[in-house]
Amino acid sequence: MNEELQGKIIRIIFRNEENHYTIALVKTQDKQTVTIVGNLYQVGIDDYVKCSGSYYEHPNYGKQFKVESYEVILPEAENEIEKYLESVLLKGIGPQLAKAIVEKFGQNTFNVLDNRIDELKKIKGIGKKRFGLISKAWNKIRESREIIFSLQKLGLPVNTALKIYHRFGKDTLDIIEQNPYSVASEIEGIGFLTADKIAYKIGLAHDSQVRIEAAVLYKLTLLANDGHSFYPLRDLVKEVFNMLKVDSELIYDAVYSLERSGDVYIERESGDGGEYVYSFPLYFSETQIAFKLTGIMNSPPFNFGDIKNVEPERIINSQKYKLTDEQADALNSAIKNKLLVITGGPGTGKTFVIKTLIDYFKLNEIKTSLCAPTGRAAKRLAESTEQEAKTIHRLLEYNPLENRFVINNENPLDTDIVIVDEASMIDQYLFHSLLDALPEHAGLILVGDVDQIPPIGPGNILRDIIDSQVVKTVKLTKIHRQEIGSGIIVNAHRINNGMFPETKNTGNDFTLFLSSSENDVLNKIIELCSKTLPENFNYDPLKDIQVISPMYKGKIGIDNLNLKLQEVLNPGSEKIDLLGKRFRVGDKVMQTKNNYDKEIFNGDIGIIYHYDKAEQTVMINFEGRLIEYASTGLDEISLAYAISIHKSQGSEYPVVLVPILKSHSIMLQRNLIYTAVTRGKEKVYLLGDKLAIEKAIRTNRAIKRNTFLKERLQRLNAENNF
C-alpha cells in the first residue's frame, strides 16, 4: 500500500545525471528528516515535493522512503519564491534579479511566468538575451513538470515517465493520445503491457485496431525471442486472441492491415495454401541470407595458382599437422568452396582444423578474419589459434549510439575469408549483418557443433544451412587419440547418441552423483565447491568452478544456488544493497547485456573488487580489467556462482557441475545436457536423478523453430542449377 510524504528537500546526497536516480534528505511538515530515493527529475535543494511510495529498511542506512511518483509543489512565500528562482534550475537569474522579480510580482510570480512571461521585460536588468535564457529555461521546466506529472497520473513510475519524455519531449502527450503503443515500439525497456496500461487509462477501446495491431507485433517479437522467424497466421491469431479476448476476425483484419503498411510480410505457400507471418525485418533478413549465401557459393573460387600455389598435400602430409582423412577433406573443401561448414562434436579437432586452415591461407597470402558470436568464445578462439579473434559485433564495429554496424555493404570488411567459430550460436539478425559486410570476392567458413542448443534469438542458421544439403559440409566424427581416454569427451558423445554416460574405463574427469533428493544434490554441490575441489584438487571456487543449471526457479534453480553458494563462498564480506540488487564485495558476477561503452559483453564473468558507499559505485574485476558501475548500472549484473546453460554456451571452464532433477523436467532435452557437459575442460560432475537424466538424454525432440531458410536455399540452388 502506497504512503505519502510531503516536505522540503534540504540536501542532495547523490544524483545520477543520466537517469536522475537521486538520494535526498527531506524535512517533512512535522519537522522529521527522511531519506528519499528514486528517479527525481529537475528537483533541487529547497524544492517542496509531494511523494507517493513506501518506507523500507535499508540494511546499512536505516529507514528510507522509496519514491514511486512525485509532484513538485511550487513555493508560496515570497522569500521561498526568490530562492527557487535563483536556483540552478533557472539559469540567467541571480539573487538580485530574483529579488526584483518577486518585488514586482509577489505571490503572483509563477502565474506571470506561466501565462504572461513577456512582462519580465519590464524589469530592469532583463534585456533581450537574458529574457531569452529565462524564457527557454522556464518553459522547459514547466513542460517537463506537467508532462511527467501527467504520465504519473497514467500510472507510470517516474523512471518510465522520464524515458518517454526524453524520447518524445514536448510532443509526448499528443503522441500518447494518438497511439499509446508507439512508446513500446520506440523505447527500449517499455513493452506492450506498459503501453496497454496507458491505453486503458486514456480510454482507448478494448477492440481498437491500433491496440490489436500492437498486440500482433508484440506477439511476433515474443515468438522471435523463442526462435521463430515466422508464425502460421492461424496460430498467430489464436495467440493474440488468448491475449486480448477480442473477435478473431478483427485480429485477421489487423494482420492484413499490417501487411499493407509493410510492418509484416505474409508468405503464402502455394503447395499447402498456408499463410505464414513474418515481422518485416525478419522476412528481409531471412531472404537476404539465402540470396547472399547462394551468391557466395556461386562466386569464382580462389585462384591459388596466381598466388603461390602451395599445394594442400604439403600441409596434409607435413610432420606438423598429421591430418586425419576428415580433416584433410575439410582443408581441400575450403580450397574448392567459397562457402563451407565444418561441424563435429568435442574432441574431433574442429579447432585444429581452423589452425591448419589459417596456416594454409597465410602461406597463400590470403587475408583471414576470425570471429565468434560472444566475447568468451572469441577469446577462446584467439587463445587456441594464437591469432587475433573478435566478436562479430567488434569485427563489424558496432556503434551503440546509432545502433548500427559501421562495417556493412557500403563499407565492407577488408578480408578474403571470414572464419566463424561457435556458429550454432548465431541468430538470424547477426548473421545477416555479417553477410552484409562481406566483400563480393570473400569466402565464409562456419565452424560449430550443430548438436548444441540453438541460438537465443530468432532462426536456426547452422542447422538450416546443413539441412538444406546445398552447402558443402564436412562433419568431423573421429575422436582424436589423445581424447579417447577422456571421460568428458566419451560421455559427451554417448549423450549425443542417446546413451547414458558411464564412468568405467573413461578416466577420472567425469563423475556421476545420482540422487533423487534435491537436498542431497544441493549439499553435494556446496561440498564440492567449498571443500572437495579446492582442498583436494586446488581449484579456485570463483575462477575455476562453474555450476550450470537448466532453470532459474526451485531449490536447484540458478537463483537459489547463487544465494546458497554466496553464503558459503563469500559469507562475511561487505554487503552492497543498491536498487534492489544485493551483492557482496568478492562476489562472482556476470554481465548479462552487451555494454559497448565499457567493452564488457553478455556472459563475461568478474569479481566485485570494491564498493564506494559515498559515490554509490561498484568496481568489478573482469580478468584484470577494473570496470566501474554506477548503482543504476547494476541492472546489467547478476550473481554467477551458478548460471544457465544458455549463458554458458561458447565458454569453457576447468570444472563444471551440472544438476539434473525431475523439477527440471520442462527443460530436459538432449541438446541441453549435451551443451552443459561439453563446457567442462578438466572435470565434469553430473548430479541428480537417474530417471531425469535418462529422460533428458532420450528427449531429442528439439523444439521446432519456424524458419524457411532451408527451403529458400534449396529453391535458389535449384534455380541456379536449372
Q: What is the pLDDT of residues 21-76, one digit of tens each?
A: 888 999 998 888 999 988 887 787 878 888 888 888 876 678 899 888 888 887 77
Q: pLDDT band at 92, cuts 50/70/90? A: low
Q: d(Cα 278, Cα 257) in Å, to the nearest integer?
A: 14
Whole-number pLDDT of residue 389: 95
Residue 250 has pLDDT above 50, yes or no: yes
Q: d(Cα 199, Cα 154) in Å, to the nearest integer?
A: 9
Which region among 202-211, 522-531, 542-551, 695-704 has the lowest average model confidence (pLDDT)? 695-704
Contact by Cβ (8 Å): 534, 540? yes
* Dihedral angle, C-alpha 256, 262, 263, 265, nearest 10 °: 70
Q: d(Cα 378, Cα 391) in Å, to the nearest integer?
A: 6
User: Around 695, how many Cα atoms within 13 Å sit in the side-chain half-sphere?
Assistant: 14
Nearest CA to 430 out of 381, 374, 367, 472 is that of 374
Using CB atoms within 10 A of its CB, is residue 262 exposed (0-12), middle (13-18) or buried (19+)? exposed
Whole-number pLDDT of residue 306: 41
95 or 176: which carries more pLDDT confidence? 176
How far is the CA of 227 from the CAs of 426, 464, 601, in angstroms? Answer: 11, 13, 21
Residue 309 has pLDDT above 50, yes or no: no
Residue 499 has pLDDT above 60, yes or no: yes
In this prediction, residues 133-160 reach a mean pLDDT of 79
Whole-number pLDDT of residue 320: 62
Contact by Cβ (8 Å): 671, 451? yes
For 35, phi then psi, to 5°, come to: -85, 125
Which region among 177-191, 214-228, 237-251 has the lowest average model confidence (pLDDT)? 177-191
Residue 505 has pLDDT above 90, yes or no: no
How far is the CA of 550 from the CAs of 425, 673, 676, 693, in angstroms? Answer: 17, 8, 9, 12
Whole-number pLDDT of residue 570: 94
Q: d(Cα 434, Cα 289) in Å, to the nearest integer?
A: 10
Q: What is the pLDDT of residues 666-713, one digit of tens each?
A: 778 899 999 999 999 999 999 999 999 999 899 887 668 999 999 999
Q: Write the DSSP string, 684-712.
A: EEEEE-HHHHHHHHH---PPP----HHHH
Nearest CA to 101 out of 85, 88, 89, 116 is that of 85
Nearest CA to 634 out of 560, 707, 579, 569 is that of 579
Q: Write the DSSP string, 523-577.
A: HHHHHIIIIIHHHHH---TTTTEEEEES-SSSTTSHHHHHHHHHHHHS-SSPEEE
Residue % of the chain over a pLDDT of 90: 47
Q: d(Cα 691, Cα 683) in Å, to the nearest integer?
A: 23
Residue 722 has pLDDT above 80, yes or no: no
Whole-number pLDDT of residue 148: 79
Reported as type and span, the H/E element at residue 376 is helix 375-385
Residue 500 has pLDDT above 90, yes or no: yes
In this prediction, residues 326-341 reach a mean pLDDT of 88
Nearest CA to 192 out of 252, 239, 233, 144 is that of 239
In this prediction, residues 144-151 reach a mean pLDDT of 80
**What one-letter code names the amino acid at 354?**
I
Contact by Cβ (8 Å): 7, 50? no
Mean of per-residue pLDDT scores for the chain:
87
Q: pLDDT band at 272, cuts 50/70/90? A: low
What 3-state class would DSSP assign to 410? coil
- Taking phi over 0 as left and psi of -120 to 50 as alpha, with beta for the rest, 580 belongs to left
Q: pLDDT band at 373, cuts 50/70/90? A: very high
What crossing angle do the helices spanning 209-225 and 192-201 adopt, rounded to 10°? 160
Contact by Cβ (8 Å): 634, 587? no
Q: What is the pLDDT of residues 231-244, one digit of tens each?
A: 999 999 999 999 99
**What one-letter code names the amino acid at 551?**
M
Q: d(Cα 391, Cα 322) in Å, to the nearest integer?
A: 30
| Residue whose grid cell is 566483400 | 439
Alpha helices in 154-232 (DSSP H): 158-168, 172-178, 182-186, 192-201, 209-225
Identify each DSSP E strand in 400-525 by its residue range. Answer: 404-405, 417-420, 443-448, 473-476, 510-514
Q: How far apart are the first and last CA of the chain?
A: 71
Whole-number pLDDT of residue 241: 96
User: Around 301, how many Cα atoms within 13 Å sit in the side-chain half-sphere?
Assistant: 10
Whole-number pLDDT of residue 588: 96
Nearest CA to 106 out of 133, 128, 126, 78 is that of 78
Q: Is the dihedral of CA 33, 37, 40, 44 positive or negative?
A: positive
Q: What is the pLDDT of residues 376-419, one digit of tens each?
A: 899 889 998 989 999 999 999 998 878 899 999 999 999 999 99
Identify each DSSP E strand in 264-381 by its residue range. Answer: 264-268, 275-279, 339-344, 368-372
Residue 535, C-beta contacts closer than 8 angstroms, at least 6 positions apart: none
Dig out the grid coordinates for 642 from the structure. 551458478
Dig out the grid coordinates for 308 from the structure. 603461390
Nearest CA to 137 out of 79, 178, 92 is that of 92
In this prediction, residues 566-593 reach a mean pLDDT of 86
Whole-number pLDDT of residue 482: 56
616 or 328: which carries more pLDDT confidence? 328
Residue 188 has pLDDT above 80, yes or no: no
Whole-number pLDDT of residue 260: 96
Nearest CA to 430 out of 294, 281, 298, 295 is that of 281
Residue 416, C-beta contacts closer than 8 angstroms, at least 6 positions apart: 302, 361, 366, 367, 368, 441, 442, 443
Whole-number pLDDT of residue 598: 83
Residue 529 has pLDDT above 60, yes or no: yes
Dig out the grid coordinates for 67 from the structure. 519514491
Identify each DSSP E strand in 59-152 by its residue range. Answer: 62-73
Q: d(Cα 535, Cα 409) in Å, to the nearest integer?
A: 55
Whole-number pLDDT of residue 308: 43
Contact by Cβ (8 Å): 669, 452? no
Residue 483 has pLDDT above 70, yes or no: no
Reported as type and span, the H/E element at residue 671 is helix 670-677
| Residue whose grid cell is 573413461 | 506
Q: pLDDT band at 556, cuts 50/70/90? A: very high
Contact by Cβ (8 Å): 450, 670? no
Reported as type and span, the H/E element at residue 625 is strand 625-630
Q: What is the pLDDT of residues 619-628, one digit of tens each?
A: 999 988 899 9
